[in-house]
Amino acid sequence: MAEPAVAEPPNADPLTPERVFREHAPRVYNLARRMLGNDADAEDVTQDVLLQVVRKLDTFRGDSALSTWLHRVTVNAALAARRKRSRREDGRVYDPLESFTDDGHHAGHVRPWPRLPESPVLDREEANLIETAIARLPEMYRDVLVLADVEQLQNPEIADMLGLSLPAVKSRLHRARLMMRETLSRHYEERLS
Amino acid sequence: MTLTCRRVAELLIEYVEGTMCPEKSAELQRHLCGCVPCAIYMHTYKDTIRVTHALPDAPMPPEFAARLLSMLKSQDCSSGE
């Protein structure tokens, strides 16, 4: 894959290993950890990806596009690590749309959550809850949700990275959000009651 | 109401991302105005996206961070030789 060749402003600090580490390691590590659901594999991926960057530092004329490039390389490395691990998920995947009756009504009571601020700041309990909910998603849904809703990538970019069609990305993302909603509902409904 | 609650749930991604055609969007809005469970469902769907986006990065384990930084520095020296 070609590295980005986007010039930085003339007064920008040079790309050094320390700067790559400081500005990019946490993001690479967290993306890998959320995709793989495993700290040890995330460490391996982070190390591989950042070593690639540092070994090619002289080929980067700037890091404006480095973040985008890193997303792609990290996703590829995480998918490769998962293939190597070759753990297959088995069992039927639960479909949240099954919580509707045959004639299309809500099967159970739909309860509200407490009012959340526009930009919520999560406490440790909420952050852990969301991390756990993400880790429990089936991989095919987890990858898309992490890239779309945590990393804030656009759907076409995700489709390109994962080798999926755009409708497939949207379908998986929607299912993932519905699964997350159900898990989070148990927490937020309790808080309200 | 022509849309069922299940159909509304299926269409929420198009609705919240603003990619739905105006006619369908108006039809869905009419359903939401008359169906409290679906209105709550839609709000909590949007809240799910917001809290997921608010997820902070976890710190790297300190031993790993120290090992990684040291490894990156050594690679830079070796490539410059």
pLDDT for A90 equals: 57
Q: Which amino acid is at A172?
A: R
- How far is B74 from chain A, CA to nearest CA, in Å? 9
Query: Is B6 in contact with A170 (Cβ distance < 8 A)?
Result: no
Give the number of A-B residue pairs with CB atoms closer than 8 Å. Answer: 136
Prediction pTM value? 0.86
Q: Buried (b) or exposed (e) across B14-46, using 16+ Cβ within 10 A?
A: bbeeeebeeeeeebbeebbeebebbbbbbbbbb
Q: Which of B48, B69, B73 to mutate to test the interface with A (most CBs of A within 10 A)?
A: B48
Residues of A within 8 A of B6 (CB-CB) are 97, 100, 104-105
* Residues A179, A137 contacting (CB under 8 angstroms): yes
ipTM: 0.89
SS3 A167: helix
Closest residue in B to A53 (Cα) is B72
Query: Is B69 in contact with A21 (Cβ distance < 8 A)?
Result: yes
Instruction: Please state, in angstroms and rounded to a whole number, the distance separating the CA atoms of residues A71 and A161.
Output: 9
Contacts with B78 (C-beta within 8 Å, 6 or more apart), sequence order: none
Q: What is the pLDDT of residues A33-52, one digit of tens each?
A: 999 988 999 999 999 999 99
SS3 A86: coil
Q: What is the pLDDT of residues B17-46, one digit of tens each?
A: 999 999 999 999 999 999 999 999 999 999
- How far is A10 from chain B, CA to nearest CA, in Å? 22
pLDDT for A118 equals: 82
A8: pLDDT strictly greater than 60: no
Task: Return the higher-pLDDT residue of A61 and B19.
Answer: B19
Residues of A within 8 A of B45 (CB-CB) are 177-178, 181
| Secondary structure tally for chain B: helices H, strands E | 4, 0
* Residues B6, A97 contacting (CB under 8 angstroms): yes
